[in-house]
Structure 1
């Protein structure tokens, strides 16, 4: 007897959605072209999706970004009249009951909430979705697309199940369920983009998903920083971080100095200080998948070499980013008592990060892919600034870092320490290996994001 009432209840819930979907399909045919970009993560920490939004806006689309607003996106995004950012609420897991139940409740709540947010937006031609995280977003975005006439585009940055496997183990029921879900729902999209050829091949062979490789490319604002802007940035950072302050022996009321640069009071010209430290930068999300013990051990070895009389400079190591393990590693760094190496961990404004990359002497990347199929965007940005890189090795890194050509690849702290010793020997040597890498990057005529996007993605979204 209850069955008819349940059927009526289901129809009562579905009918408004069906009517709304029909109305939105009609509206979409009459409205300006519109795209919704969905990020179930922090928009400010999702540069690739920000670049998608900017590229779509430049091509005449109006863009709505749905995502978490934990940090500030780039000013170009905030100041663009064609782009609107709509903040999403992130639901926390329950603190009681079995873990599967906690996770299940969170997924259901997030699904219903995302469905509501998407359904009541302006009609969209396309929904661009970042994956991971794709649970529950892939199914929800596909359902809304079928209802409202929107085509789904999934941008595969990695696999969500492989990231979950780092925490729970690859054979955990939640991980296996997430893998099944990703494989099933990933086939529902009209267009699939991915970040490497290795991932494209894996999607085709093991997931039966046809994808197009869109390599991460540096945006136009990632470039070498002029000395005068370097000087201003160093002075700004010196207010809160002693590593950027001029040594007391260099203090002169008539000169404006940082630890690296000085400005002539008469001409205003900025030059590097003689005997300045080398500036090394590593960008991270401070999570367990990046092994900072490798970097710390290498810095400790480098410190011992400088104290032992090796012809090496003092070193300032800047580790940027924020995340759950930042305080833990900051304490660990403090316990090392390094003498010729200074480590600081600032959280930079979005506009200052490219300036710092463009001012550094060397980048270090500790990214290890959970799937072995994605590439670190931080290295892409460093290369855009013509900054040579030492990167920890993994599966498809060769698609980006060419060992001995534009940087070096290492396996452990001993190898990284040896590379630092070699690269900074007689620093700043204009004919040394570090300078050769930078020269190679300058001459490489790297393809920028806008040009790559227009070649690869624009044809896929302009045929409807």
Structure 2
């Protein structure tokens, strides 16, 4: 009898302590901390459930807020080093999330996926509820939407924080690209994203087309939607020939082909890729094969530098090595690199042409890498088979579009041959013009007034 009574007491005490703990998280004094400090400077939590070092738009948000005197908690994974200005700014405090679990090959996705979400949910809830003080705004990148949007919505409600969602794309369309449109997880992801996407107090989109979609079925978002086009940061700048020589020598001090690249005898192509299915690298590889085996007038040799990290990199590197060993890519050298941010910006300013392989899963997002290329004065050849492409590239003015390897090969032949120098120069001027509107100018006109930082 005494043991039974003791167990009851333990159960009651445990229940009370659990209730107090949950109450502290959701209904405790922290919910009202902001209300007592409204006269203080604007505070914003910027959340990326991804690598901060590879999330330029969100780090640009953080920098813009900090430059205007706001206090920023920048939350995300620290897999690669963020932009140095972010690390050094006194108004920005980085709050790293514990690294996400990695899936063993023996564990199927259907089991690992939910487990990963549970781990991320725990870490994210703990950090937002305990690791940072309440803020006026929580700015969240979407995607990934799971579990970010649900947790952000609950925390914002409990802490009297306004939720701002920055829509880069849709998580369910990305999942459909890898799992198939009819996969049950895709349907669940879509319902989830459409539901929790309505809880934002304010929404930012990367294109006008995306904004139109969010106002319609199945999203039905009624809160304010503002397009904030990606714009290049100040670090991306065009270079003259002397500065180009100095930059290439610094980035590749012992590269045997650089003297010929600097002299213009070898054309320099740059492509930044995440090595994922939504950036089909085989298109570029097939186009280079066609370029290398073009009959007729000799085309200039190419040095192709591919930057970035991703799951399909090893597979394509094997294909490249096999093609080069078989002699199927004469006068073409393909190399990969993962460069510090400054070196990457310098490389773009030194190239003859940028290639973007991004395929929009939703049809209404845009690749920021093209924006960076324009900022560096680099004309682009970009995959164009989606609705919002024209919001970024003006065909024949700042770049050229393609949808197949054959079309990309034709573009390379036309603009990289000696007779195409005039066209390439026209595209370069167009790229410089397109990149003249910078991120700070775009942000100050659209986001700053909303955050009361104008």
Q: Is the CA contact (8 Å cut-off) linking 2:371 and 2:435 kept in structure 1?
A: no
1:47-446 to 2 correspondences below 5 Å: 47-92=56-101, 99-120=109-130, 121-206=132-217, 207-209=219-221, 210=223, 211-239=225-253, 241-244=255-258, 258-261=259-262, 273=263, 276-305=265-294, 308=295, 310-337=297-324, 338-395=329-386, 396-426=388-418, 429=421, 432-444=422-434, 446=436
| Cα deviation code 1:214-247 (max 9, x no counterpart) | 1111112212124344223322343465443xxx
Provide closer, same or farther for how the CA distance between residues 383 and 97 of structure 1 changes in structure 2, counting only shifts above 3 A: closer
Q: Is the CA contact (8 Å cut-off) linking 2:399 and 2:431 kept in structure 1?
A: no
The TM-score normalised by the length of structure 1 is 0.88
Provide closer, same or farther for how the CA distance between residues 101 and 12 of structure 1 changes in structure 2, counting only shifts above 3 A: farther
Q: In the alignment, is residue 29 of structure 1 matched against residue 38 of structure 2?
A: yes
State the aligned residue count: 434
Shift of 1:30: 5.7
331-340 or 415-424, which deviates more? 331-340
- Output the CA distance in 1 between the equivalents of 2:145 and 2:433: 39
- Output the CA distance in 2 between the equivalents of 1:13 and 1:444: 53
In structure 2, list runs of 5 or more residues that go unmatched: 1-7
Provide closer, same or farther for how the CA distance between residues 322 and 226 of structure 1 changes in structure 2, counting only shifts above 3 A: same
> Secondary structure of 1:171's match?
coil
- Output the CA distance in 2 between the equivalents of 1:416 and 1:178: 34
- Output the CA distance in 1 between the equivalents of 2:82 and 2:121: 25
Q: Is the CA contact (8 Å cut-off) linking 2:269 and 2:352 kept in structure 1?
A: yes
Shift of 1:109: 2.4
Q: Is the CA contact (8 Å cut-off) linking 1:155 and 1:192 kept in structure 2?
A: yes
- Output the CA distance in 2 between the equivalents of 1:230 and 1:197: 36
Q: Is the CA contact (8 Å cut-off) linking 1:391 and 1:410 kept in structure 2?
A: yes
- Output the CA distance in 1 between the equivalents of 2:433 and 2:118: 51
User: 1:14 corresponds to which residue?
Assistant: 22
Provide closer, same or farther for how the CA distance between residues 420 and 99 of structure 1 changes in structure 2, counting only shifts above 3 A: closer
Shift of 1:339: 2.1
Provide closer, same or farther for how the CA distance between residues 124 and 233 of structure 1 changes in structure 2, counting only shifts above 3 A: same
308-317 or 127-136, which deviates more? 308-317
Provide closer, same or farther for how the CA distance between residues 399 and 23 of structure 1 changes in structure 2, counting only shifts above 3 A: closer
Q: Is the CA contact (8 Å cut-off) linking 1:388 and 1:407 kept in structure 2?
A: yes
Following TM superposition, the consecutive aligned residue runs of length 4 or more in structure 1 with deviations greater than 6 angstroms are none
| Cα deviation code 1:139-192 (max 9, x no counterpart) | 211222122221111000000111111121122121111111111111111010
Shift of 1:377: 0.7
User: C-alpha root-mean-square deviation of aligned residues, in Å?
Assistant: 2.4
Provide closer, same or farther for how the CA distance between residues 323 and 312 of structure 1 changes in structure 2, counting only shifts above 3 A: same
Q: Is the CA contact (8 Å cut-off) linking 1:34 and 1:61 kept in structure 2?
A: yes
12-21 or 353-362, which deviates more? 12-21
- Output the CA distance in 1 between the equivalents of 2:163 and 2:257: 48
- Output the CA distance in 1 between the equivalents of 2:281 and 2:434: 31
In structure 1, list runs of 5 or more residues that go unmatched: 245-257, 262-272
Shift of 1:117: 0.6
Shift of 1:296: 0.8
Shift of 1:15: 2.2
| Cα deviation code 1:19-77 (max 9, x no counterpart) | 24345335543643211100000000000001000110111101110100001111111
> Secondary structure of 1:205's match?
coil
Provide closer, same or farther for how the CA distance between residues 116 and 417 of structure 1 changes in structure 2, counting only shifts above 3 A: same
32-41 or 138-147, which deviates more? 138-147
Q: Is the CA contact (8 Å cut-off) linking 1:313 and 1:427 kept in structure 2?
A: no
Shift of 1:90: 3.0
148-157 or 220-229, which deviates more? 220-229
